């Protein structure tokens, strides 16, 4: 397994797009023995986050070959897991949290909605989503009321687009990246068609220059300017899943909004990976999944962000006439004080909570809370700092002793550490992908791959 690394000392630099102070990473100089295991282990010993490794279950090499259910053992023959971008490892706390939820259900049934049990790590079901949202808010740089735990990523994007995509005859276009994750592409395409428009006219794909994989911020701003008068909405990924590029969220957001464009971000690969500041960067809305770097389990419940200015509920016209941003509504988005009155008078929870529709699964929330219990013991700033060092060290090891002419791959992830997350995407020479993938799997190294020739290593 790639070693843990000490948290770096970073300089602070203020972005021009906001008042938020963000950390800038300065790559270190490596010692002459930096390619040795001893060097890596020495860094691991001084890493303040190294103990967090024990909070997760790393599959053994033997279990990776299992054809029947296998219990995680204490085997020292751990696999090397570079696939957190696809599915994060299971926290050791997860089974305890799930068992507590099942025991609550079996012992007190429906009373679990309202009763806290002293020996349970979880609060009552009706408060659980709110608690999880508050914990996620710290990870995405938001106020607690700006975040809701609900649904799954694409469904949540549809819910948000229903509220924020308001095409007119003159402004109907949606700007997205050239290689958006297919589900995002489908969601936008279908939303455009839902409004009776043609995606060929209303979808604008922002791509890199010919032969490149990274889209410069200047290129994005240029495309925004080119289409601004016809554009209703911009939806980009915080981190591009294929290349691993970390977009300049504050700069892009500010520029698009200055042109009258609503700005949303898909944080599927950015949540729990990089230190975003959604509130201070004035993002209109965002959505994310929690099963990648968030470690909440396959298909886990997702999260949304709605900036506080869009979550206001105005009662100036009377208690029975709340005025709020239009959205698709459901009973769980109603204020708890009236949720069980059954009078069919919708009074939304102020903030992102008012965008909830259905009662969230208590089982899903238990898995999410188990992962958040780990994140609550540190900070996204510390995680990001370690990630920057760890990813840079992996890049150093991959490139050491080779040249552009001799190596059989190209790293298409930005070389600037501040412009990427915990990911390096390797573009292999044609015909190598399947062979390399099989050799890695045989050696107990789990990565992800994207056809035709990209192999991605995730930390």
Residue 99: which residues within 8 A CB-CB, separation 6 or more?
none
Whether residue 30 is annotated as binding a ligand: the answer is: no
Pick from 380, 387, 397, 391: which is nearest to 425 by CA?
391
Residue 341: which residues within 8 A CB-CB, separation 6 or more?
none
CA 307 to chain centre: 17
By three-state DSSP, how is residue 391 classified? helix
Whether residue 273 is annotated as binding a ligand: the answer is: no
Task: Work out whether the CA dihedral 445, 451, 454, 456 comes out positive or negative.
Answer: negative
Whether residue 266 is annotated as binding a ligand: the answer is: yes
Q: Residue 39 and residue 351: Cα distance in Å, rounded? A: 49
Whether residue 216 is annotated as binding a ligand: the answer is: no
Whether residue 184 is annotated as binding a ligand: the answer is: yes
Q: Residue 269 and residue 225: Cα distance in Å, rounded? A: 27
Q: Residue 255 and residue 251: Cα distance in Å, rounded? A: 6
Whether residue 359 is annotated as binding a ligand: the answer is: yes
DSSP 425-439: EEEEPTT-HHHHHHH
Distance in Å from the first CA to the final CA of the chain: 10
Q: Which residue has 């230190």 as its token pair?
A: 275
Q: Residue 76 and residue 133: Cα distance in Å, rounded? A: 36
Give the DSSP H or E segment for 450: strand 448-450
By three-state DSSP, how is residue 370 classified? helix
Burial pattern 438-455, b for ≥16 Cβ within 10 A else e, equals: eebeeebbbbbbeeebbb
Q: Which residue has 């099963």 as its token pair?
A: 291
- Structural contact between residues 329 and 339, judged by C-beta atoms closer than 8 angstroms: no
Q: Residue 329 and residue 431: Cα distance in Å, rounded? A: 50
Whether residue 237 is annotated as binding a ligand: the answer is: no
Whether residue 153 is annotated as binding a ligand: the answer is: yes
Q: Which residues are annotated as a binding site?
A: 153-154, 181-184, 266, 269, 291, 331, 359
Q: Which residues are annotated as a binding site for pyridoxal 5'-phosphate?
A: 153-154, 181-184, 266, 269, 291, 331, 359
């Amino acid at each position: 397994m790639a070693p843990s690394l000490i948290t770096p000392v970073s300089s602070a630099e203020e972005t021009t797009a906001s008042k938020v102070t963000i950390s800038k990473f300065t790559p270190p100089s490596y010692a002459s023995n930096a390619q040795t295991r001893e060097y890596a282990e020495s860094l691991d010993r001084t890493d303040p986050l190294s103990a967090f490794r024990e909070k997760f279950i790393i599959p053994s090499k033997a279990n990776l070959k299992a054809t029947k259910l296998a219990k995680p053992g204490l085997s020292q023959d751990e696999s090397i897991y570079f696939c957190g971008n696809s599915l994060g490892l299971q926290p050791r706390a997860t089974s305890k949290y799930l068992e507590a939820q099942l025991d609550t259900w079996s012992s007190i049934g429906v009373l679990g909605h309202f009763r806290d049990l002293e020996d349970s790590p979880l609060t009552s079901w009706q408060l659980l989503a709110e608690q999880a949202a508050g914990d996620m808010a710290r990870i995405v740089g938001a106020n607690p009321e700006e975040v809701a735990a609900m649904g799954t990523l694409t469904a949540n994007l549809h819910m948000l687009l229903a509220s924020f995509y308001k095409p007119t005859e003159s402004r109907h276009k949606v700007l997205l990246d050239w290689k958006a994750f297919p589900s995002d592409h489908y969601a936008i395409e279908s939303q455009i068609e839902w409004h009776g428009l043609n995606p060929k006219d209303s979808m604008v794909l922002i791509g890199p220059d010919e032969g490149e994989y990274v889209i410069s911020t200047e290129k994005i701003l240029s495309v925004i300017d080119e289409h601004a008068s016809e554009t209703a909405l911009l939806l980009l990924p915080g981190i591009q899943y294929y290349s691993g590029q970390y977009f300049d969220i504050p700069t892009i957001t500010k520029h698009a909004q200055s042109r009258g464009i609503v700005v949303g971000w898909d944080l599927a690969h950015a949540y729990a990976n990089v230190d975003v500041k959604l509130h201070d960067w004035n993002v209109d809305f965002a959505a994310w999944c929690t099963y990648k770097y968030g470690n909440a389990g396959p298909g886990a419940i997702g999260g949304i962000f709605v900036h506080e200015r869009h979550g206001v509920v105005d009662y100036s016209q009377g208690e029975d006439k709340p005025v709020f941003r239009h959205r698709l509504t459901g009973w769980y988005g109603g204020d708890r004080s009236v949720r069980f009155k059954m009078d069919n008078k919708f009074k939304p929870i102020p903030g992102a909570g008012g965008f909830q529709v259905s009662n969230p699964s208590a089982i899903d929330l238990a898995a999410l809370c188990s992962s958040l219990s780990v994140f609550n013991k540190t900070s996204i700033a510390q995680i990001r700092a370690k990630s920057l060092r760890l990813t840079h060290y992996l890049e150093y090891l991959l490139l050491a002793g080779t040249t552009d002419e001799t190596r059989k791959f190209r790293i298409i992830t930005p070389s600037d550490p501040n412009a990427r997350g915990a990911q390096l995407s390797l573009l292999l020479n044609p015909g190598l992908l399947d062979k390399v993938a099989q050799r890695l799997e045989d050696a107990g190294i789990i990565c992800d791959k994207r056809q035709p020739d990209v192999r991605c290593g995730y930390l």
